[in-house]
Amino acid sequence: MLDAPVSGGEQGARDAALSIMVGGAVTDVARAMPLLEAMGRTIVHVGSVGAGQVCKACNQLVVASTIEAVAEAIALAERSGVDPAKVRDALLGGFAGSKILDVHGRRMLDRAFEPGFRVRLHAKDARIIRQAASEVGQALPGFEPVAARLDELVASGGGDLDHSGLITLLVDG
């Protein structure tokens, strides 16, 4: 048995370019590798069964927290009268550059929230993250406000927006 959550979204699945986080015995991972390689480009055996889910929770924690940070940066630029598109371009060229700033920052600027990954699903993942952290006694002081924002957006009717829609709580509400 393996647990093998993925990251890369719908496009990554179409392109067989998913990142796959595999938990299980070494021999089982080796047996499954041809199937995993048919679906993904980055396949990492992260530990025993269950470790894949922990890795996915870590991924979703970083993704949600980074989307919130990008939303706050774009909102700050807008509210300050600075062109947020130019701020994004400048940030992309420096240490803050990331796929999330690139892809989700663009969605935020365009206010294009057709779902790639729905807010309600990320809110569900936030519950998984919180539970995993609680089970091992790990505090999540930076993530707790982000999880609350996901819940807030779901409660306000934005659950079917792309998770980049977090910016709507900052600039449109």
| Section 59-77 average pLDDT | 98
Specify the pLDDT at position 125: 97
One domain, residues 31 and 60: no
| Section 29-52 average pLDDT | 97
Q: Which long-range contacts (CB under 8 A, 24 or more apart) does 122-125 make?
A: 122/60, 122/63, 122/64, 122/150, 122/163, 123/147, 123/150, 123/151, 123/153, 123/154, 123/159, 125/56, 125/57, 125/60, 125/64
Residues with active-site annotation = 56
One domain, residues 32 and 69: no
CA distance 76 to 163: 19
Q: Which long-range contacts (CB under 8 A, 24 or more apart) does 85-91 make?
A: 85/109
One domain, residues 43 and 88: no
Proportion of the chain above pLDDT 90, given as a percent = 94
What does residue 38 show for φ and ψ, rounded to 5 degrees?
-75, -20
Q: Give the tens place of pLDDT for each residue, 1-34.
A: 999 999 988 888 999 999 999 999 999 999 999 9
Identify the weakest region by mean pLDDT among 52-56, 83-87, 114-118, 153-157.
Answer: 114-118
Q: Please check whether residue 140 lies inside any domain of the structure.
A: yes
| Section 130-159 average pLDDT | 98
Q: Which helix (H) or strand (E) holds 171?
A: helix 168-171
- pTM score: 0.93
One domain, residues 37 and 64: no
Q: Please check whether residue 1 lies inside any domain of the structure.
A: no
| Section 109-125 average pLDDT | 95
| Section 84-101 average pLDDT | 97
